Structure 1
Amino acid sequence: MRAYVFTDKALARHAGRFVWLELNTDLEKNAVFQEKYPVESWPTFFIIDPREEKALVRFAGSATVAQLEKLFEDGERAYLGKAEGAEAALAWGDSLYGQGKPAEAAEAFSRALAEAPADWSRRGRTLESLLTALWGAKQTEACARKAMQELPLVPRSPSLANATTMGLICALSLPPDHPAGKELVRTLEAKAVEVMAPPLIDMPADDRSGLYEAMVEARSAAGDAAGSKALAEQWLTFLEGEAAKAPNPEARTVFDSHRMVAALALEEPMRVVPAIEQSERDLPLDYNPPARLANLYRMLGRLDEALAANDRALARVQGSRRLRVLSDRSAIQVARGEKDAAVKTLEEAIAYGKSLPEAQVSQRQLDALVKKLAEVKAK
């Protein structure tokens, strides 16, 4: 968003309309904000009413300039209390989601879609918010079914692509023995293929990458290894092209994590190593490049380099993201045959996680570390 969207001159006319704030959720001093306005994925955008300090809009995920401008309008309409009908239901859903009530928010978003005319300009955005809320409420089957029901009503747009991705992710997350799981995946995968086909939707490259990732996972879940690899090749080629067009190093590193996942799906980790090594040289204060390199080196069997890269990442990372880097370190130590060191690293990670403010670390993260510790001890 910082590299490709916030710099767009079209946003300049909104400069005096809001008080703008960016928060780094890795910093403990910002935990108070997160306690009041929960953040589960990055980026997340809030429009906050200063009179009552309540969230008028909460939107998770990246957005185009046009999408941001619609969010601005929705927030202002809710602030002024001028919404009626479907727009009032949308505003109520936004408010509930901003309060961390995803199930109740999903009901309001569903009502907005039911009450809206077929050509409602907020339909795509509302569906995105509905599916995200259902995911947050762990209602994954409902998420997949709502996607199937509502996607045919959404015009070709970034919102259509994002809603398709979310619906497919929900379907893929269902248990393998779910009676409707395979059919839901097949239907939504077919929709994803349609969305990817020409004429191409003008959407952020990371959103297109997210759809590729879900499609690769769908082919893999279907047992189609060749199809999964063919898609992963298309995905990585797309990302390499986008990275080559990036105007500066920060913009180019936007694609590093995506390229890494695509290369691993393709089983060619070495293909992205030079690019991420360049990112570390270009952004020496960023923990992400060395953290990614540590994993890549480990997969390539270059364990001394992996440990050194992990050292560099640990020197730069803080907050809950440090837990992931420590977990990765334990995997390197296990690969090196250093079981005692891996146990110590995981114990350090658990202790550090417990020391963080509750708003900045999830119980799921801590549970995963505890489970991993038990597995390493049992080796």
Structure 2
Amino acid sequence: AMREARASGRAVFVEVWAPWCHTCLSMKNFVLPDPALAPLRERLVFAAVDSDREDNAAFMDRYAVNVWPTLFVLEPEGGEVVSLWQGSASVSELRTFLQDALDAMDAEHAPDGPLAAMLAAKKAHAAGDWPRAAQHYQRALDRGGADWPRRSEALAGLVFSEYRQGHWTRCAQLGADHAASIEGAAVPADFSWVVLDCAAEVKAPALRDRARAAVLARLKRHTDSPPDAASVDDRSDALAIYAGALAESGDRAGERAAREKQIALLEAAAAEAPGPKEAATFDYARMGAYLALGRGSEAVAMLRERRAQLPDSYEPPARLAQALIAMRKDREAVEPLEDAVSKAYGPRKLGYLATLAELRARLGDRSGQREALVALLALYDGLSASQRAQRANRKRAEQARRQLARLR
């Protein structure tokens, strides 16, 4: 893609995705093919990077990816980040994001305007420089004012940057002050889950409660009247976050109503999908909603059918095992989990091996547990530097070494 971009003088639009990421599948199946994006291909080379594939290690070592999908616009010569977008985007949001990036490359923005500050924030964000990203997001907000069209996006970036620094109070304060004003197809839900995570760490009860109340009110409005541009996946995510927040507040009836609404939405979308590959976009969220409502047998039936329809994919057997484990059917979960391990690769396979080791330990299979742990460590040693450095992967390897030592 970079060679093509240099030869043609076009920028590069990179979609970083993974097969286990339901939002990535939603973007791939329902947003990126939209004809409204076709004119942008005259100025952009479109590329996709599966973050778990070994042959994409160099890209993942260079660019910070913390949310799936992450969308980049890169300069064709040196691959410098022009801009990035985290998570879901509607077609109109994606068009604006890409056009702003192209305008930046054409220097069609004021150097002291909000867009210049926003693009500086995106570059720092892509580098994982969270203090600098927060500084530039705040500068963009100050320059743009209350009516700036990209205010919600900048606030979401600022909240995420504070979250990544562990600035729980600052993050919760931003949520309490600005949740009501956040707009967009997916941004309100994304903003909300970050603020809820921050609020859980806040020591002051008054601020914690105010942040949660602001987010709950925004999520209710968003789920009662979702934007027309919101995809099914966007609406489902918002309902799931809302259900979790209601459960945390003790409103079990409200949680159940939100989950029922989510299931109805997802079942209708799956029924209308052109084929099983597209319908599988909704499997993860359907499984979660079924399990939350005590309807695990429906999740199992759905995933067994999907496994038969998509025999080469690791996702259906992995999700099937996940559902069975949640239902405390460990012995039934072994076979689909082993199937997922045989088909998966990269960090995702690492996670499946960790789960398989735990499963075999619970079943008293010490030999099988040891086999899974040895395979996990061998796989970890072969990961790219950035993949080994990821906290979850490093933690799995450390735990595997301790468990192996106890088994000897």
Normalising by structure 1, we get a TM-score of 0.90
* Consecutive aligned runs of 4 or more in structure 1 exceeding 4 Å deviation: 175-179, 371-379
CA contact (8 A) 2:65 2:126 kept: no
Letter in 2 for 1:108: H
Counterpart mapping for 1:16-55 below 5 A = 16-55=42-81
Q: 1:146 to 1:108 in 2, by over 3 A?
A: same
TM-superposed CA distance for 1:182, in Å, is 3.1
1:371 Cα deviation after fit: 4.2
Question: Distance between the aligned counterparts of 1:289 and 1:195, measured in 2?
Answer: 30
> 1:84-95, aligned counterparts within 5 Å?
84=110, 85-95=113-123
Post-superposition Cα deviations, 1:71-129, rounded to whole Å, max 9, x if no partner, equal 11221122123322111111111111122212311221111112113322222222233
Distance apart, 1:255 and its partner CA: 0.7
Matches of 1:228 and 1:245 in 2, distance apart? 26
- Specify the SS of the correspondent of 2:31: coil
User: For the residues of structure 1 that align with 2:322 and 2:187, how far apart are their CA atoms?
Assistant: 34
Root-mean-square deviation (CA, aligned residues, Å) is 2.6
Q: Does 1:262 align with 2:289?
A: yes
Structure 2: 5+ residue runs without aligned partners? 1-26
Match of 2:216 in 1: 189
Change (3 A) 1:21 1:145: same
- Determine the structure 2 residue equivalent to 1:119: 147
> Do the aligned partners of 1:109 and 1:129 also contact (CA within 8 Å) in 2?
yes
The equivalent residue for 1:98 is 126
Aligned with 1:161 (options 164, 184, 188):
188
Partner of 1:71: 97
Contact 1:125 1:159 in 2 (8 A): no
Corresponding residue of 1:62: 88
Q: Counterparts of 1:229 and 1:373 in 2: how far apart (Å)?
A: 41
CA distance in 2, matches of 1:248, 1:351: 37
TM-score (norm 2): 0.84
> Which shows bigger deviation, 335-344 or 24-33?
335-344
Q: Check 1:210–1:369 CA distance in 2 against 1; reply closer, same or farther (3 A cut).
A: farther
CA contact (8 A) 1:161 1:207 kept: no
The C-alpha deviation readout for 1:342-374, integer Å capped at 9, x for no partner, is 354234323422331121241333214534775
Residue identity in the other structure for 2:139: R
Number of the residue aligned with 2:242: 215
The percent identity for this pair of structures is 25
Cα distance per residue 1:229-266 (max 9 Å; x no partner):
33222222222222222222121111111111222222
**1:298 to 1:195, Cα distance in 2 relative to 1, 3 A:** closer
Q: Residues 222, 372 of structure 1: CA spacing in aligned structure 2 closer, same or farther, 3 A cutoff?
A: farther
| Distance change in 2, residues 1:363/1:239 (3 Å) | same
Distance 1:131 1:244, change over 3 A: farther
What is the alpha-carbon distance in structure 2 between the residues aligned to residue 153 and residue 220 of structure 1? Answer: 24
Change (3 A) 1:330 1:192: same
Distance (Å, rounded) in 2 between the aligned partners of 1:252 and 1:223: 33
Aligned-partner Cα distance in 2 for 1:159–1:233: 20
More deviation in 216-225 or 98-107?
A: 216-225
CA distance in 1, matches of 2:393, 2:274: 35
Structure 2 matches for 1:130-209, cutoff 5 A?
A: 130-154=158-182, 156-171=183-198, 173-174=200-201, 180-198=207-225, 200-209=227-236
Relative distance call for 1:199 and 1:251 in structure 2 (3 A) is closer
Structure 1 counterpart of 2:323, one-letter code:
L
The one-character-per-residue Cα deviations of 1:40-91 (angstroms, maximum 9, x if unpaired) are 2211110011233211112110211111111112211221233221111111
Q: What code does the residue aligned with 1:105 have? A: A
Tell me which moved more, 82-91 or 200-209.
200-209
SS of equivalent residue, structure 1 residue 193: helix
Residue 81 (1) aligns with residue 118 (2): no
| One-letter code aligned to 1:126 | A
Structure 1 regions of 5+ residues with no counterpart? none
Q: For the Cα contact (< 8 Å) 1:132–1:166, is it kept in 2? A: no
* Aligned partners of 1:89 and 1:111 also within 8 Å: yes
Alignment equivalent of 1:230, drawn from 246, 249, 257: 257
What SS class does the counterpart of residue 82 from structure 2 fall into?
strand
Change in 2 beyond 3 A, CA 1:233/1:159: closer
Report the Cα distance in structure 2 between the residues aligned to 1:332 and 1:231, rounded to whole angstroms. 32
